[in-house]
Amino acid sequence: MTFDEAKAIVEALLLASPTPLSPQRAAEILEITEGQARELLQSLQREYRAKEGGLEIQAVASGFQLVTDPRWALYVEKLLGPPGVSGLSHAALETLAVVAYRGPITRAEVEAIRGVRSERALATLLERKLVREAGRREGPGRPILYATTEDFLRYFGLRSRDDLPPLPEKVP
């Protein structure tokens, strides 16, 4: 298998994969090392970028995914109609921010920071799979801990939580 053949196979996998394709998974399928798979994916990503076509390869949530170029979003929307799922409400987004930067975190802790009940917002986030239950905190009542998910990373186009914009300092 030549490098170009391997790259073509990875491209095929990217189109067929319903979720972001991790270098690890690609390596398993092509029987190469993870490093080689990553190299193929990144090479492909550069090619797409240079071509300035209709698609881009996005590094997201510990994998790579094929997406339409944001420049052509208007046309894609014409094809598909307006997005069925609306963006997050302010309350949900605020709650999500606290979970993202401070998680795993309990509901009570989220509420202490926001100063309002956050049960409904958390339920919405759980339903949209942006937040998941991540065990329980040891201690009285063993409250449920919440953390962000892979879907959360995909939703914001992040590779990991390290990609989050830095939380502003606590300055007056």
Asked if 84 is part of the footprint of other proteins (rule: CB under 8 A), the reply reads yes
Q: Which is nearer to other proteins, 32 or 91 (CB)?
A: 91
**For the purposes of burial, counting CB atoms within 10 Å of the CB of 164, is it exposed (0-12), middle (13-18) or buried (19 or more)?**
middle
Residue 41 makes contact with other proteins by CB under 8 A = no
96 near other proteins, judged by CB under 8 A = yes
CA-to-CA dists, residue 166 to 61, 151, 162, 163, 169, angstroms: 18, 20, 9, 8, 9
What values do phi and psi take at 134, rounded to 5? -130, 65
Which of 66, 105, 131, 145 is close enough to bind other proteins by CB under 8 A?
Answer: 66
Is residue 108 close enough to count as binding other proteins by CB under 8 A?
no
CA–CA dist 54, 12 (Å, integer): 16
Out of 1, 12, 29, 93, point to the residue binding other proteins (CB under 8 A). Answer: 93
Q: Which is nearer to other proteins, 17 or 42 (CB)?
A: 17
Q: What binding mask, one character per residue, do residues 116-145 give for other proteins by CB under 8 A, x or -?
A: xx----------------------------
User: Does residue 6 interact with other proteins by CB under 8 A?
Assistant: no
For residue 17, the tally of other CB atoms under 10 A from its CB is 16
Closest listed residue to residue 44, CA positions, set 2, 1, 14? 14
Count of residues that bind other proteins according to CB under 8 A: 46
Contact 144, 133 (CB under 8 A): yes
**Contacting residues toward other proteins, per CB under 8 A:** 15, 17-18, 56, 58, 65-70, 73, 76, 80-81, 83-84, 87-88, 90-91, 93-94, 96-98, 101, 112-117, 154-158, 164-165, 167-172
